[in-house]
Chain A
Amino acid sequence: MSEELYFKGVSELSQMLDRREISAVELAQAFIDRKNAVDPKVGAFLSADESDTLDRATQTDKRIAAGEKLGMLDGIPVGLKDVLAVRGQKLTCASKMLENYVSPYTGTAMKNLESRGAVFFGRLNMDEYAMGSSCENSAFQKTRNPWNLECIPGGSSGGSAAAVAAGECVCSLGSDTGGSIRQPASLCGIVGMKPTYGLVSRYGLAAFASSLDQIGPFARSVKDAAILLNGVAGYDRLDSTSVKCDIPDYAANLSADSLKGKKIGVPKEYFGEGIDSEVRALVEKAIANCKEQGAEVVEISLPHTDLAIPVYYIIATAEASSNLARYDGIRYTHRSKSAKDVVDLYFKSRAEGFGEEVKRRIILGSYVLSSGYYDAYYLRAQKVRTLIRRDFEKAFESVDVIMTPTSPTTAFKIGEKTSDPLAMYLSDICTINVNLAGLPGLSLPCGFASNGLPVGLQMIGKAFDEQNLLSYAYAYEQSAGWSGRNPSL
């Protein structure tokens, strides 16, 4: 029975629950069984409180019996990146610093999902504190790409992507600071979306770089991603950067002919050297498909594109050095047992608790903010960030959507880039501009390279134009039909 279940989408499973063809507890158990069968190979789950998952499913079954089902997400197993707070559940950020931490409260996005009856299942692996592009910076385990177990799943939300691609949960949440949802979605052959900055509350998301972080969905189809986005989005007074805006029913308004008459901007800077030729060919083929559906394709320029990596790694590390100061060994983290005094306690607890990449970024961030260097690095990066934003503003005066590759290559081999941090930083080259500009970005599958690994098409939309962005993605998906292909494990 379960084999037929674990690759089904949200709406189909929801209908099965409505028709009483399956109970929510049976559904949850099917995913628990699937996880136990394939996760020893994939390594997506850091932990899973199975009894909590079954309890939540039991509540769904009670509601169904009472005729009070809450909507399409009620009873659907949703995985969570281990950076998102749910009261009583572990939250490790894949760091030794928080190895034993249990959340005393539930973050707003997760509360929104709870109020819709979603069944949380699993704490998913990630790069430590969301810093990385391959999941190899997790302090606890490697996650493997379900399409090729020798390859990385992408990062930082690699566990969230791999779990969905492997059919271990129906959909999942991740966080995206520089591409951490879209890049692993691309490398694992699924749909992943970073919403506009401010659409989803960050309350209960352990902070990495607060001006860039955003929670978003992973799913095996655009429609499921739309349903999950509806489940988490909304204004929240507990996040002062949360934005009040109308939130339509994204899934209900998807239109398969939405690309007709629309203008697609193709930025030449994203198709130069450094982009793998097969990736480029498949993305160009996808854009040609959109053109066949009646869209107009125009070449555009985003002239400050090649400055994104330095701007991002200055701003993100500066914000991280400040945000991660809270992990001090005093209140709720790992505490060193060998410290001489209270100041030594900070130094030793942080030395023992943080992994290599986290230390490197905190030190880099401390440097760019330090006296004498602030103007040359941090302030200058903030100014160039303005120029990058303006590039997009200007482009969106004449186009409806921008299309690019999501990742310059398909998934690379585990261990291939771990000794070269700068090479690893370049994996984010196509995605970080979108965070710097605060825009919504979505990755969806657009084919497979000759090595058998999936390739992702990135669509970038106007601020708070999630509805149209999802609709364009849906139109391409319906026409090209790449979503729904699943790896054999």
Chain B
Amino acid sequence: MGEAVRGIMPRFLLERARLFCDLSGLMANKGQIDIDYVARLARIELDDAEKARFSAQLDQILGYFQKLSEVDVEGVEPSSHAYAVYNVWRGDEATPAMSVEDALMNAPAKRDNQIIVPKVVDDA
């Protein structure tokens, strides 16, 4: 194994150092991520401390992802799986399904074979 081989880490470490220098700039313009918007998309309530922490960490991670923009992917097909997977069909045959009792055994609130949820339609 040659000594001069470019490993996996050096580019990362360089970028890391660069990012660290840039971090104050990133923080100043609130970073790349609109954390309120993305947390809404993800349906997760975050407190202020989490928002600040995740924003900084995700900006750093996204900065690291930028190396993908340097790659020439002209004409390259995207892989959604390791192998080409086409539609997989099966016969439309009736088979025994899970019982209602089993399907509801972990429901946090239930009554009459149904799951109780908060009201979704206003009275007015």
Contacts and interface: CB of A to CB of B under 8 A. Distances in A.
The interface size bin for chain A is: 35 or more
Contact of A314 (B11, B37, B65, B107): B65
A166 B54 CA distance: 37
Nearest to B33: A367
Given A274-B8, A348-B45, A366-B42, A360 B58 contact: yes
B9 interface: yes
A363 B44 contact: yes
A119 B12 CA distance: 45
B73 interface: yes
15 contacts: A198-B83, A273-B7, A274-B13, A299-B1, A321-B42, A333-B108, A335-B108, A354-B44, A360-B54, A362-B42, A367-B58, A367-B62, A421-B61, A425-B61, A439-B82
Contacts of B68: 307, 310-311, 314, 377, 380-381, 384
B108 A272 contact: no
Contact of B81 (A211, A305, A347): A211
A333 B107 CA distance: 7
B103 A329 contact: no
B85 interface: yes
A62 interface: no
Contacts of A266: 1
B98 A105 contact: yes
Contact of B41 (A100, A307, A366, A384): A366
A342 B122 CA distance: 12
Interface in B55-92: 57-58, 60-62, 64-65, 67-69, 71, 73, 76-83, 85, 88, 90
Interface stretch (A64-72, A150-158, A385-393): A385-393
A272 B5 contact: yes
Contacts of B28: none
Contacts of B76: 383-384, 386-387
Interface string A315-340: 00000010001001111111100010
Interface string A369-384: 0100000110111111
A362 B103 CA distance: 26
5 nearest A-B pairs in the assembled complex, by CB-CB distance: A272-B7, A438-B82, A274-B9, A382-B78, A332-B106
Contacts of B79: 382-383, 385-386, 389
Contact of A422 (B54, B60, B83): B60
Given A314-B65, A345-B118, A362 B44 contact: yes
| Binding site secondary structure of chain A | helix
B8 A237 contact: no
B108 A306 contact: no
Given A299-B1, A348-B45, A274 B98 contact: no
A270 interface: yes
* Best-surrounded residue of B6, B62, B78, B82 (most CB of chain A within 10 A): B82
Contacts of B103: 104
Contacts of B124: none
Given A381-B68, A389-B82, A363 B90 contact: no
